[in-house]
Amino acid sequence: MYDLIIHNGQIVSTSHVSSPDTWIGIQDEKIVCIQAGPLPHDASKRYIDAKGAYITPGGIDTHVHLQQLQVAPGDDTGDTFESGTRSAIAGGTTTIIAFANQQRHDKSLYPLVEEYHRRASKDGTWCDYGFHVILTNPTKAILDEEIPVLFEKEGISSIKVYMTYEARRVGDRDMLEIMLRTRKLGMTLMIHAENDDMVQLVIDHLRDNDLTEPHHHAIARTPLAEAEATNRAICLSNLVSSPILIVHVSSSAAMSRIRTAQNDLQPIFAETCPQYLLMLADAMRSSGHGGCGCSHSAEEKAEDDGFEGAKLICSPPLRESKDDLDAVWKGMINGTVTTFSSDHCPSAFDHPKGKKKGLESGKADFTKVPNGLPGVETRLPLLMTYGVEKERITVQRFVEVTSTQPAHLYGLQHRKGSIAPGMDADIVIWFPNGTIQEEISNDKLHHSIDYTPFEGFQATNWPR
Ligand code: DUC
Ligand code: ZN
Ligand code: ZN
């Protein structure tokens, strides 16, 4: 007998959509049986009629920032592990991977990882979770002694490095040393690719000319800075034959460098996020909504005194040109993009330590605004709506980039990322096509943030 039976849905894999006549039997939170005929059904156990809708493997969001340590105590206005995972599960994401970030003065990663476990377990979580480590000071002891232990004993299968931000960036030599270790162990190396000196030069010029309203953030972090750093990361990886994942790719220039390297059969992987498919920088000049064409009146939009655009400050930034959106969609369609994450990295808007930190001097200053957007809950519905339902990608490709490939990249494929006997019963049931027609609004979301950048965007399906 099964604890739960799901029937009458179309099970989606990366290559196939089943007929609704398929039955899924679940026991002890594992999928134990999938078959075409009826399964024996005890009336005292649960039975779910999927009503002919798609059934997809639970979403895996491998780029989520929760309760990170670099924020001073009491200054974090983002989600906790509890509220962030609540939001994840409400949007069909059953596994997240969050970041345990090293600060420059940390000599060991062990206490750090323990601290993140404490943070995550304090109030409980609503979905499964794991950690990447962010390295800012990759000493020999950390690389040679600690990383292998974290990989082999703690299940940490990935490292993130930044090529930007004074407090976090690592130099090329350090990147090479890290690449040698990740290659040897088979870990995934995530790279935030923006050239910090290029960004800082433009910021200094903008400041000298008093150009500090939120939309200048997009000018400061030019696509050229992303392209240069992406290209450099690819060259470094080429030297030591080490696979890398360029995270949150936002521009045509970066995407085309990645595509060229892939065509040369270099092991370069790419991640993108909903904001780089759906929003342009122009929205930062007005509403703080991503250009959804929503029904807010001109008065409402004027009320925001030009600072609402801070809601859309993230890095890399939203881009100025539609060519960038088109190129990111193209990468999503043609396979250049390996994985689709949210980069959920929220701060409250209406809070002096949140986005409004950018107003603390009395004048709008984008350089003081915490970077990042909420999005863990809206990731899957947005790609289902703007990708699958608008027929840009197939539902099989949707499963590939939101679940199956993320599982493979981070070593979870033996338990997660597909619906098959032996796998965790992490399952999303959608509504039958055509039965949902909603606008996203923050009051329906489950995070603890006072806005969503996707306010007014369509959601023509949603995980049940
Ligand atoms: N990088 C991220 O990955 N998330 C938010 C901000 C940033 O710089
Ligand atoms: Zn980043
Ligand atoms: Zn991030």
Beta strand 438-439 pairing with 427-429: unpaired
- Alpha-carbon 37 to chain mean position: 38
Query: Two tokens at 407?
Result: 């599982």
Q: Give yes or no: residues 77 and 200 share one domain.
A: yes
Q: Is residue 461 part of a domain?
A: no
- Residues with Cβ within 8 Å of residue 363, at least 6 apart in sequence: 212
345 lines ligand 1 (CB under 6 A): yes
pLDDT tens digits for range 330-358: 999 999 999 999 999 999 999 999 999 99
User: With 90 as the cut, is the pLDDT of residue 73 above it?
Assistant: no
Q: Give yes or no: residues 17 and 68 share one domain.
A: no
Q: Give yes or no: residues 154 and 287 share one domain.
A: yes
Q: Give yes or no: residues 44 and 129 share one domain.
A: no
Reduced to 3 states (helix: H, G, I; strand: E, B; else coil), residue 331 is: helix
Please give the average per-residue pLDDT across 244-272, as a whole number.
98
pLDDT at 301: 47
Q: Which residues pair with 169 in a beta bridge?
A: 162
Q: Is residue 15 part of a domain?
A: yes
For residue 381, count CB atoms less than 10 angstroms from its CB and return exposed for 0-12, middle for 13-18, buried for 19 or more: buried
271 lines ligand 1 (CB under 6 A): no
Is 280 within 8 Å of 291 (Cβ atoms)? yes
Please give the average per-residue pLDDT across 73-102, as a whole number.
95
pLDDT tens digits for range 96-133: 999 999 999 999 999 999 999 999 999 999 999 999 99
pLDDT tens digits for range 419-445: 999 999 999 999 999 999 999 999 999
**CA 247 to ligand 1: nearest atom:** 3
The neighbour count for residue 12, using CB atoms within 10 Å, is: 26
Q: Give yes or no: residues 36 and 138 share one domain.
A: no
Q: Which of 277, 274, 289, 280 is nearest to 456 (CA)?
A: 289
Range of the domain at 110: 59-414
Q: What is the mean pLDDT of the chain?
A: 95
Is 23 within 8 Å of 39 (Cβ atoms)? yes
Least confident of 10-24, 28-42, 278-292, 305-319: 278-292
pLDDT at 305: 63
Torsion of CA 207, 284, 374, 206, to 10 degrees: -10
Q: Give yes or no: residues 67 and 157 share one domain.
A: yes
pLDDT at 296: 55
194 lines ligand 1 (CB under 6 A): no
Ligand in nearest proximity to the CA of 192: 2
- Residues with Cβ within 8 Å of residue 349, at least 6 apart in sequence: 288, 308, 310, 311, 355, 356, 449, 450, 451
Q: Give yes or no: residues 31 and 102 share one domain.
A: no
Q: Give yes or no: residues 305 and 218 share one domain.
A: yes
Please give the average per-residue pLDDT across 81-85, as a whole number.
98
- Residues with Cβ within 8 Å of residue 9, at least 6 apart in sequence: 20, 22, 50, 51, 52, 53, 54, 55, 429
Question: Can you give the length of the chain in residues?
Answer: 464
User: With 70 as the cut, is the pLDDT of residue 297 above it?
Assistant: no
d(CA 65, CA 96) in angstroms, rounded, equals: 10
Q: Which of 31, 49, 67 is the last residue of a domain?
A: 49
DSSP 392: S
Q: Is residue 437 part of a domain?
A: no
Q: Is residue 422 part of a domain?
A: no
Q: Give yes or no: residues 194 and 281 share one domain.
A: yes
pLDDT at 294: 58
Reduced to 3 states (helix: H, G, I; strand: E, B; else coil), residue 117 is: helix
Q: Which of 291, 258, 259 is nearest to 276 (CA)?
A: 291
User: With 70 as the cut, is the pLDDT of residue 304 above it?
Assistant: no
CA of 315 to the centre of ligand 2 (A): 7
Q: Is residue 285 part of a domain?
A: yes
Q: Give yes or no: residues 105 and 34 share one domain.
A: no
pLDDT at 303: 47
Of 61, 63, 64, 65, the one to substitute when testing ligand 1's pocket (max ligand atoms within 8 A of C-beta) is 65
pLDDT at 287: 63
Query: Two tokens at 359?
Result: 């107003």
371 lines ligand 1 (CB under 6 A): yes
CA of 373 to the centre of ligand 3 (A): 9
Q: For ligand 1, atom 7, which residue shows the shortest CA distance?
A: 315
Residue 259 vs residues 26, 328, 331, 349, 398: alpha-carbon distances, Å: 41, 11, 8, 36, 20
Q: Which of 222, 288, 295 is nearest to 253 (CA)?
A: 222
**DSSP assignment of 242-283, as one string?**
--EEE-S---HHHHHHHHHHHHTT--EEEEE-HHHHH-BGGG
Rg (CA), the chain: 22
Is 57 within 8 Å of 400 (Cβ atoms)? no
Q: Is residue 94 part of a domain?
A: yes
For residue 15, count CB atoms less than 10 angstroms from its CB and return exposed for 0-12, middle for 13-18, buried for 19 or more: exposed
**CA 371 to ligand 1: nearest atom:** 6
pLDDT at 302: 45
Q: Give yes or no: residues 32 and 65 share one domain.
A: no
- Alpha-carbon 449 to chain mean position: 17
Q: Give yes or no: residues 141 and 170 share one domain.
A: yes
pLDDT at 295: 54
Q: Which of 244, 198, 222, 382 is nearest to 316 (CA)?
A: 222
What CATH number is associated with residue 90? 3.20.20.140
Q: Is residue 458 part of a domain?
A: no
231 lines ligand 1 (CB under 6 A): no
The neighbour count for residue 334, using CB atoms within 10 Å, is: 10
pLDDT tens digits for range 171-222: 999 999 999 999 999 999 999 999 999 999 999 999 999 999 999 999 999 9
User: With 90 as the cut, is the pLDDT of residue 157 above it?
Assistant: yes
Q: What is the pTM of this model?
A: 0.96
| Number of structural domains in the chain | 2
pLDDT at 293: 54
d(CA 383, CA 461) in angstroms, rounded, equals: 10
Is 69 within 8 Å of 57 (Cβ atoms)? no
| Widest pairwise Cα distance in the chain | 73
Dihedral angle sign, alpha carbons of residues 227, 229, 235, 237 = negative
**DSSP assignment of 398-463, as one string?**
HHIIIIIHHHHHTT-TTTSSS--TTSB--EEEBPPTTS--EE--GGG--SS-S--TTTT-EES--B
Q: Is residue 54 part of a domain?
A: no
Q: Supply angle C-alpha 313, 315, 318, rounded to 5.
A: 65
